[in-house]
Each structure stands twice: as C-alpha cells, then as structure tokens.
Chains A and B, each alone.
Chain A
Amino acid sequence: AQKITQTQPGMFVQEKEAVTLDCTYDTSDPSYGLFWYKQPSSGEMIFLIYQGSYDQQNATEGRYSLNFQKARKSANLVISASQLGDSAMYFCAMREGNSGNTPLVFGKGTRLSVIA
C-alpha cells in the first residue's frame, strides 16, 4: 500500500488566489512527521513546511500552511495569495517513527500551475 498519496497530478490556480494541495498518508506508527517540498523546473527540492504527529497546532510558514487532520490522516498544503513563482511540482513526504533510522517516503507529486 502507498504510504503517501497525492491524488492531484496537476492543479491550476489564478494568481493571488489560495490553493490546496492534497496529501493523505498511511501509517500505524503513532509518531511520525510530515513534510512538503517544492521542486521548480530547475530541479532543486525546497523544503517548505513540517508537521509532527504530536503537534497540537497546524504548521504555518509565511504563505504556506498545513491543514493537518489526524483522524483523516491528511496533511494538505494550503498556499495563500498564489504567485507566478509558485508554479512547480509539490511533494508530500512522511517520516515514520521518532527520527531514528527511517528516511522520508515521498508521494508522486502534484504539479501546480499559477495563471496570471
């Protein structure tokens, strides 16, 4: 079974609008971490935001926020006030366990296109 599922292969959003990128995850470990990365066409993976499974509040970083719904096992990324530079691939990733020896598992990604 897939650990990380991103159901939207591609998304379009108008400049200055907000957009939500979906991510659901599958784990039986009570301790885990969720990450979002942005990959522009240049190829570099850019870390955006992190949510720990025990964090009480949803993570926010500037225009990025994570809508963490633990019971639903979802960790959607919300980008507010979209900019043309937000056009990129976005990957959701999970680390199972409390750090230690488990690397990240990535979803298949969502390509976001911001329209002027």
Chain B
Amino acid sequence: DTEVTQTPKHLVMGMTNKKSLKCEQHMGHRAMYWYKQKAKKPPELMFVYSYEKLSINESVPSRFSPECPNSSLLNLHLHALQPEDSALYLCASSQEIGGEQYFGPGTRLTVT
C-alpha cells in the first residue's frame, strides 16, 4: 500500500470558521509533511513531523495548527484563515525526513 489519503478533497470555509484537514498513511513512514501550493507554484513546506514530533515549522502563522495523533495520522487545524490562504494543501510521508516522499491527492481550500 503506497497510498496517502487526504480528506476532504475540497473545502470552502469562512474566515471565522474552524475546520481540520486530515491525512493518513499506512506505509510505516516516520516522517509526515504538510505543504501549501498556490496555482502555478511549487509546493511550499509548512510543517514536518518526525516520529510524531514536530521537527520543522517553516514560520507558519498560528492560524494553522498541525497535530500528529499517531504515526499514521496527520491533521492540520485551521482557524481564522484569510482569503490568501486559499490553496491546495498537500500531505506527504516518507520513511525518514529527506527520503522519497509519497504525496496525497491534496485538499483544495477556498477561504471566503
């Protein structure tokens, strides 16, 4: 099973809403990542978890809050987002940080 799943596929939320993005993998990978991707741009790294601990936070605003409940799950909690946060949010996992990453299909987020 080389699949990373993400839910939901699409999300529309208002600036006062609280929502969560979910990511799951069952490949036994110990590193999991959140990326933000704007149209026609490369993915921008947001957070990296290694062995369920936050390893890298790329100076992401606190309105994005990651959580790794266990080695297979990664959540991204969203609160008080801005319209400019609208983007494709990609989750990925790898055996270790820096290894070959497997990506999920992404969540297309629109903030109104």
- The interface of chain A, by Cβ under 8 A from chain B, is 33, 35, 37, 42-47, 50, 91, 95, 97, 99-104, 106-109
Contact = CB atoms under 8 A, between A and B. Distances in A.
Q: Is the interface of A mostly helix, strand, loop or mixed?
A: loop
Contacts of B48: 103
B90 interface: yes
A100 B99 CA distance: 9
A99 B99 contact: yes
Contacts of A47: 100-103
Contact of B42 (A44, A99, A106): A106
Contact of B103 (A44, A95, A99): A44
B11 interface: no
B105 A44 contact: yes
A43 B106 contact: yes
Contacts of A106: 42-43
Given A99-B99, A102-B97, A91 B42 contact: yes
B68 interface: no
A71 B110 CA distance: 44
A45 B43 contact: yes
Contacts of A100: 96-98
Interface string B32-49: 010001001111010010
Contacts of B99: 95, 99
B103 A46 contact: yes
20 contacts: A33-B98, A43-B90, A43-B106, A44-B104, A44-B106, A45-B43, A45-B103, A47-B101, A50-B100, A91-B43, A95-B98, A99-B99, A100-B96, A100-B98, A101-B56, A101-B98, A103-B56, A106-B43, A108-B42, A109-B42
B23 interface: no
B55 interface: yes
